[in-house]
């Protein structure tokens, strides 16, 4: 059985400048969003 996925965001979501100043480890973070479709 194969699961199908729908891409929600085309480009990765990156942390804001404010977030990077508060949390230096967030600089390399890239959030990608998909939705599982049945």
**Percent of the chain having pLDDT more than 70?**
97
Please provide the average confidence, as pLDDT, over all residues in the chain. 94
Tell me what the mean pLDDT of segment 6-32 comes to. Answer: 97
Q: Which domain holds residue 10?
A: 4-37
Q: How confident is the model at residue 2 (pLDDT cuts 50, 70, 90)?
A: confident
Tell me what the mean pLDDT of segment 17-32 comes to. Answer: 97
Of the candidates 9, 2, 8, 5, which has an alpha carbon nearest to the alpha carbon of residue 36?
A: 5
CA dist 5 and 8 (Å) reads: 9
Please list, in sequence order, all residues whose beta carbon lies within 8 angstroms of the beta carbon of residue 38, skipping any fewer than 6 positions away.
4
In the prediction, which pLDDT does 38 show? 81
Q: Give how many domains the chain has, as a whole number.
A: 1
Range list of β-strands (E), the chain: 4-7, 34-37
Q: pTM of this prediction? A: 0.68
């Amino acid at each position: 059985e194969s699961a199908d996925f729908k891409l929600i965001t085309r480009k990765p979501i990156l942390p804001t400048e404010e977030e990077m100043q508060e949390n230096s480890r967030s600089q390399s973070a890239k959030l990608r969003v998909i939705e599982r479709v049945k």
